């Protein structure tokens, strides 16, 4: 019985932490200003943190940081280095009005700067690691 309580506490602590930003994605910039013509549109992404079970136990800061990190991770996977934020939504529980979820949606763009080169370097690194693992 004590083990199940310990497992529940560990799971709750893990569930309430924010989504971490992946290596390379920390260089992606999220902005409210529409990028200029020097940027190329790559697609739309949505980042989210929280749900009906963990949202009430997760701090507002972790909900917002996690959603932003999720957005950056997805934008980086598309090859972007700028995300033009289109919407920012949150949902609340009916009984306590606590936030339970934060969702961000944006346009992924790529501009000609160091971040796009960092993305290419990261992809090359991942391919090399995958090739080494396959050859084992």
The 10s digit of each residue's pLDDT in 18-74 is: 899 999 999 999 999 988 888 999 999 999 988 776 766 778 788 899 999 999 999
What would the mean pLDDT of 121-126 be, rounded to a whole number? 56
- Per-residue pLDDT of 77-88, as tens digits, reads 999 999 999 999
How far apart, in whole angstroms, are the C-alpha atoms of residue 75 and residue 113? 16
- Check: CB of residue 69 under 8 Å from CB of residue 25: yes
User: In which domain, by residue range, is 52 found?
Assistant: 2-135
User: Could you tell me the pTM of the whole model?
Assistant: 0.70
Q: What is the pLDDT of residue 16?
A: 64
How far apart, in whole angstroms, are the C-alpha atoms of residue 40 and residue 134? 34
Q: From 121, 25, 120, select the one nearest 70 (Cα to Cα).
A: 25
Higher-scoring residue by pLDDT: 135, 43: 43
Which CATH number characterizes residue 78's domain?
A: 3.30.110.70
Q: What is the pLDDT of residue 127?
A: 60
The total number of structural domains that make up the chain: 1
């Amino acid at each position: 019985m004590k083990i199940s309580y310990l497992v529940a506490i560990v799971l709750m602590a893990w569930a309430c932490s924010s989504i971490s930003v992946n290596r390379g994605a920390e260089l992606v910039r999220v902005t409210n200003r529409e990028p200029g013509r020097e940027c190329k549109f790559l697609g739309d992404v949505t980042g989210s943190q929280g749900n009906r079970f963990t949202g009430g136990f997760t701090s507002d800061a972790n909900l917002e940081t996690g959603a932003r990190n999720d957005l950056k991770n997805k934008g980086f996977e598309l090859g972007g280095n700028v995300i033009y934020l289109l919407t920012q939504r949150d949902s609340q529980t009916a009984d306590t009005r606590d936030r339970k979820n934060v969702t961000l949606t944006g346009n992924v763009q790529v501009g000609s700067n160091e971040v796009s080169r960092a993305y290419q370097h990261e992809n090359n690194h991942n391919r090399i690691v995958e090739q080494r693992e396959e050859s084992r």
